[in-house]
Amino acid sequence: MAEQKSPRSLVSGIVLGLAIAAVLYGGVWYASARLLRGEVERWLEARRAEGFAIRTGAILTAGFPSRIAIRVTDLDFAAPPARGRWTWRTPAVEVTASPLRLGHIAIDLAGAHQIAGPWLESAPVQLTATKAALTLDLKDGALDEAQLTLEDGTGVWNGADSRLHTDKAGVRVSLHPDAPPPVAPASEKNGGALPVISTRLAVKIENLTVPGDLPQPLSNTLRELAFNAELVGPVGDGALPKLLATWSDAGGAINLKDVTLDWPPVVLSGEGSIALDQNLQPMGAFTARMAGFTDALDIMVREQRMRPDEAAVAKAMLGLMAKPGPGGRAEIGMPLTVQDRQLSSGPLKLFELPRIDWPRAPPP
C-alpha cells in the first residue's frame, strides 16, 4: 500500500510551490520592468537626437506586483524649429503595462498640461482632465492602434472667456487597418493620382461646451458628437498651415460615416466628406437627416432672424418632407454643402461659418 503524505507535507509542498512561483513571477516582473523603462528612456533619447529639447525630473519604477509603472516627473518637451517650436509641460506622465503583455501600453495623462508655441498668439493653452489615458497597441513592434479617453476635460486660453469643456471624450486611431483600404477617387489637385487611406478614426465626445457667440439657433453645448472617419492622403509634419496645404494639394480629404451631431435644438445624422479649399477653409458635401427643425425655427423667430410668417411656411413645407425617425421624432433628409464658409441645403443658405485662422509659425 502506497504511503500517504501527511497534511503537513502537503502544506509544505504547496507553500514551496507558491514560493517558487512567486520568485519566478518576481523575476519576470523585474525583467519586464527593466525592458519597459529602457524603452521609455530610448524613446526620449531618440527624440533628443531629432532635435527635441527634453528635460525630466526623476524616472521612477513602481507597480509591483499587478502592473509595471514607469513614472516620468516634471516633463518639459520642446520641439525644434523644423517641428514648429511648440512646447509641452506637465508635472508627471505614467507609462504602465502588464508584465505579461508589453504589447499593450497605457499612458496616464490625468492632471494639468501646458501647451504653447509661436503659432499661438494667445497665452499658453492650459489643459486639465480628471481622467485621461492614451493606450497603445503594438503589432510586430510597431504601433497599430491608439486610443485616447478622457473624463472631465477642460481647455482654457485667453482667460475664462475662451474655454472648452467636455464630460467625456474618446478617440480611437487605427494606423494599420487589417482590411485593405478602398481607393479614393482621383483628384484634380494631385494630378489624377490616387491617394490612399492612411488612418481610420472613431470619435465620440459627450457634452462639449464651446465659448463664443454662436449663430442662432445653436446653443453652446453639444450633447454628443460621434463619427467614424477615414483620413485620405499622406500627412507629414512641420508648421500647421504648411502641413495642411501639402495634405490638401495631395488630394487630402476626410470621409465621414455614422455621424451623429446632437447640438440642441438640432440633431443631425448622416455621412459625407470634407476637404480644404485654396484658403485652407473647410468645404464638403453631406447627406444628412435632421430632427428638431421646428424648435430651431421657433428660436430663429424669437431672435428676429426670421419673420413668423416665413417660419410658418417653412414648418409646413418641412412637415410635408418629414418622416418618423428613431423614437418617432420627425426628421427630414437633406443635402448639406459647405463652400466659401457658407453652410447650405440645396439653394437655401443656412448661415456663414466663422473663418479659421490656422496658427502660423514665425520665420526661423
pLDDT tens, position by position, 41-86: 999 999 999 999 999 999 999 998 889 999 999 999 999 887 778 8
Collapsed DSSP state (helix, strand, coil) of residue 39: helix
Residue among 353, 351, 230 nearest 281 (CA): 353
Q: Is residue 249 part of a domain?
A: no
More reliable by pLDDT, 113 or 22: 113
Domain that holds residue 124: 14-161
Q: Is residue 313 part of a domain?
A: no
Q: Is residue 204 part of a domain?
A: no
Element (DSSP H or E) covering residue 148: strand 142-156
Predicted TM-score (pTM) of this structure? 0.74
Amino acid at 176: H
Q: Is residue 112 part of a domain?
A: yes
Q: Is residue 97 part of a domain?
A: yes
Q: Is residue 220 part of a domain?
A: no
Q: Is residue 111 part of a domain?
A: yes
Count of structural domains, the chain: 1
Q: Taking 50 as the threshold, does the pLDDT of residue 194 lie above it?
A: no
Q: Taking 80 as the threshold, does the pLDDT of residue 182 lie above it?
A: no
What does the pLDDT read at residue 193?
A: 45
Cα–Cα distance, 360 to 355 (Å, whole number): 15
Q: Is residue 29 part of a domain?
A: yes
